[in-house]
């Protein structure tokens, strides 16, 4: 099935976004130019212990994408394929920072196609300036009160400072 058969090109960019980084934001901005509608879907991953609640992550994403009219922020707690069907979306956006990301992402894309062949995954490579950046690295720096300016949007930097403020 070609992309023309999909009608309005609705893509979903799923992730835990704990927290959203400038690398994530770069993928969001670039994807918003490619697709008619981009749903940034915050995953409630029960196997992880996130720093920010699902609601906090969703709200931070809303704040940092408020300038993008075709971007919707949502959350989900189900299989991605089930969520995609609810959103009438057939396109999945995944960011790749390094070759090491590709093996896992290829496995996930293949499994999604196995579950339902009507879904396509679009891999977007990271802009080189963000290729080293991950939420885990940002949290580690912030936990030890290191500077995260330039790694995350300003709203996220403030939220990290509050989370790791001495008590």
- Answer yes or no: 118 catalytic: no
Catalytic residue (one of 31, 57, 126, 135): 135
Select which of 24, 37, 57, 139 is catalytic: 24
Please check if 80 is assigned to a binding site. Answer: yes
Half-sphere exposure of 108 (CA within 13 A, CB side): 18
Annotated binding residue at 131? yes
- Give the closest residue to 76 by CA, choosing from 155, 15, 156: 15
Q: Binding site annotation covers 105?
A: yes
Strand, helix or coil for residue 105: helix
24 is catalytic: yes
135 assigned ligand-binding residue: yes
62 is in an annotated binding site: no
- Whether residue 136 is annotated as binding a ligand: the answer is yes
Pick the catalytic residue from 31, 97, 126, 139.
97
Q: Is 97 a catalytic residue?
A: yes
Residues 6+ apart with CB under 8 A from 167: none
Known catalytic membership, residue 31: no
Instruction: Say if residue 90 carries a ligand binding annotation.
Output: no
Report whether 48 belongs to an annotated binding site: yes
Whole-angstrom Cα distance, residue 102 to residue 79?
A: 20
| Candidates 48, 77, 145, 158; catalytic one | 48
Residue 98 DSSP SS3: coil
Closest residue by Cα to residue 93 from 21, 26, 152? 26
Q: Please state the residue numbers annotated as binding site for substrate.
A: 16, 48, 80, 94
Q: What residues are labeled active site?
A: 24, 48, 97, 135
Q: Please state the residue numbers annotated as binding site.
A: 16-17, 24, 48, 80, 94-97, 105, 130-136
């Amino acid at each position: 099935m070609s992309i023309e058969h999909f009608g309005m090109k609705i893509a979903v960019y799923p992730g835990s976004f704990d927290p959203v980084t400038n690398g994530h934001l770069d993928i969001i901005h670039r994807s918003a130019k490619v697709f008619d509608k981009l749903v940034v879907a915050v995953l409630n991953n029960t196997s992880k212990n996130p720093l920010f609640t699902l609601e906090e992550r969703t709200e931070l994403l809303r704040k940092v994408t408020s300038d993008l009219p075709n971007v919707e922020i949502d959350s989900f707690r189900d299989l991605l394929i089930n969520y995609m069907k609810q959103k009438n979306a057939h396109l999945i956006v995944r960011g790749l920072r390094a070759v090491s990301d590709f093996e896992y992402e290829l496995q996930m894309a293949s499994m999604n196609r196995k579950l339902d062949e009507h879904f396509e995954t679009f891999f977007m490579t990271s802009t080189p300036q963000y290729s080293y950046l991950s939420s885990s690295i940002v949290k580690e720096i912030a936990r030890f009160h290191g500077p995260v300016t330039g790694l995350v949007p300003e709203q996220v930097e403030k939220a990290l400072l509050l989370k790791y403020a001495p008590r």
